[in-house]
Amino acid sequence: MFKVLKSYFKNQLKAGINWYIDKHLSPYIKEYISQKYLHEQIKNVVLNQYLVFGDPNRLQLSKTCVVNNALFNLSSGNIYIGEYVFFGHNVSLITGSHDYHKFGKERMVGFPKEGNDIIVEEGAWIASNVTVLGPCKIGKHSVVAAGAVVKNDVPSYHVVAGVPAKTVKKIESNK
């Protein structure tokens, strides 16, 4: 008899809890994890947050630049981003480097502390999935095409593309 009563009350308790959750909590849970909410969280976390590896004091971003979810590696130099510069998504600016002549832990932990600065001048457009390796300067109003790997300076008013990036066009300026 005790087992029957125990089973009955256990089932009643489960049913009551399930009813309460369905009636009172489900609308809030559904709203909380709605697609709109998830999209907003993804946008805020992934698309609008850049990552800094190294000393953040070595990074200078102008107030007018847009860098989205870029990666700034400041291990071996400073990075300066000028006025009205804008990035596509997944852009990596890397000052750090390792010596391939070294092996094991020595290769892993040994890297220069200075000398690989990256400067991106006013109005440059760095498209999505670009990698910029310091030291280099990307000139005013230049364009780096999507997926390019920049290893050398980019002159002002030029479009570069490819791996490694090379000039594909000169931009005629009205100025």
What pLDDT score does 22 carry? 72
User: pLDDT for 96-127, tens place per residue?
Assistant: 888 888 899 988 888 878 889 999 999 999 99
Residue 68 and residue 92 in contact, taking contact as beta carbons nearer than 8 Å: no
In whole angstroms, give the CA distance from residue 96 to residue 119. 15
- Predicted TM-score (pTM) of this structure: 0.72
What whole-number percentage of the chain has pLDDT above 90?
57
Phi/psi for 62 (5° steps) reads: -70, 160
Give the pLDDT confidence of 10-54 residue by residue, as tens digits. 777 778 777 777 776 666 666 666 666 666 666 655 556 788 999
Instruction: Quote the pLDDT of residue 100.
Output: 85
Angstrom distance (rounded) from CA 141 to CA 159: 9
Residues with a catalytic annotation lie at 98
Q: Does the pLDDT at position 72 exceed 80? A: yes
How much is the pLDDT for 145? 98
- What number is the average pLDDT over the span 132-155? 97
**pLDDT recorded at residue 131:** 97
Quote the CA–CA distance of 158 and 141 in Å, as a whole number: 8
Please check the confidence at residue 139 and state whether its pLDDT lies above 70.
Answer: yes
Structure tokens at 160: 């570069």
